[in-house]
Amino acid sequence: MKKQVLLYASAILIFIITTSEILSSNGKAGYTGSPNESTCITCHSGSPLNSGGGSITITTNIPNNQYAPNITYQITVTVSQNNISLFGFGCEALTTTKNNGGTLIITDAGSTTLKTVLINGVNRSNVVHTVLGGANTNSKAFTFNWKAPSSNIGNITFYAAGNAANGNNSSSGDFIYNTSKIITPDPATGIAEETIEKELSVFPNPIKSTFSVKISSKKTYDLSPTFTLFNLNGSIVKELSIQNTSFETKTYSFNRDDIASGIYLLQVIDGTKIQYSKLVVE
């Protein structure tokens, strides 16, 4: 009789430890639904994937979903489900070769933390929820930063899976969702430097006051070129007004005017051809 009681008590203890882990531990890496990974549905049951009437979304402040090298952006993963008050998630960023793409940065330590998981020889970095970090009614927005790679390494995909937990202290009855979002390189980062030097020159550069842009392309168009200045976040700073033109040499002059000091990308559209050049304004 004592042995039966002991076995029964042990079973209850194991059940308590297993079920309470949901509310006493951080999220786990490796369940985002990315290649070679499953989702949270591996451990949480209740309904088929993406069928519970809720949702998960990935939103960013990356202009046109095009990243520029070494720029830090904000990423938000939102898990939603009516009448739910506890949410979890995992998110990672991968290149087309299934390596980490860029750097994930924690900005809200109360709700998110970093974990890694070894998948096919690669330690994939994940942002996951903290203990009770997803406590909120009807939806929870998990926010963190992502620093783009130092160079153009091609498309990067964010993978995310979320859990809308029913709060019954077990892994049953939960709703699991997953999604992904592709980020592409800014076209300006793909322009070869030698192409820029041969067909587009800016002088003086760095710029103090006035400056000129010479287009060396042999092809002549009937349309006048347009000149647009972008900052490194991909936002338009201003469209430049031509002050003087030499049609013979295809040289165009500009005033610095109110352009603040910094590094910019100059976009030149000459007919159907688009070219870029880096500008340094002192």
Domain identity same for 204 and 264: yes
The number of C-alpha atoms within 13 Å of 147 and in the hemisphere containing its C-beta is 7
Query: Using one digit for the tens of pLDDT, what is the confidence trace for 175-217?
Result: 999 999 999 988 666 544 433 434 778 999 899 999 999 887 6
Domain identity same for 104 and 145: yes
Does some domain include residue 15? no
Last residue of a domain, one of 124, 153, 187: 187
pLDDT value of residue 47: 80
pLDDT < 70 positions in the chain: 1-24, 168-171, 187-198, 217-223, 233-234, 271-272
Domain identity same for 156 and 30: yes
SS3 assignment, position 215 = strand
What are the CA-CA distances from residue 23 to residues 17, 28, 87, 142, 197 (Å)? 10, 13, 11, 17, 59
Nearest to 108 by CA among 73, 71, 62, 145: 145
Does some domain include residue 8? no
Distance CA 17, CA 11 (A): 10
Domain identity same for 162 and 79: yes
Pair 60, 181: CB distance under 8 Å: yes
Distance CA 215, CA 118 (A): 50
pLDDT value of residue 42: 79
Does some domain include residue 72? yes
pLDDT value of residue 218: 59
Nearest to 89 by CA among 156, 157, 175: 175
- Alpha-helical runs (H) found in the chain: 2-20, 193-199
Task: Show the domain range for 198.
Answer: 191-281
Domain identity same for 197 and 171: no
Does some domain include residue 170? yes
Domain identity same for 165 and 260: no
What are the CA-CA distances from residue 131 to residues 21, 27, 30, 248, 272 (Å)? 9, 8, 17, 69, 55
SS3 assignment, position 235 = coil
Does some domain include residue 4? no
- In Å, the largest CA–CA distance within the chain is 105
pLDDT value of residue 248: 76
Q: What is the CATH number of the domain that holds 39?
A: 2.60.40.4060
Does some domain include residue 238? yes
Does some domain include residue 3? no
Domain identity same for 41 and 160: yes
The pTM (predicted TM-score) of the whole model is 0.63
Domain identity same for 171 and 235: no
Last residue of a domain, one of 131, 160, 187: 187
Domain identity same for 109 and 223: no
pLDDT value of residue 19: 35
Q: What is the CATH number of the domain that holds 229?
A: 2.60.40.3080
Last residue of a domain, one of 144, 164, 187: 187
If one counts the domains in the chain, the total is 2
pLDDT value of residue 22: 42
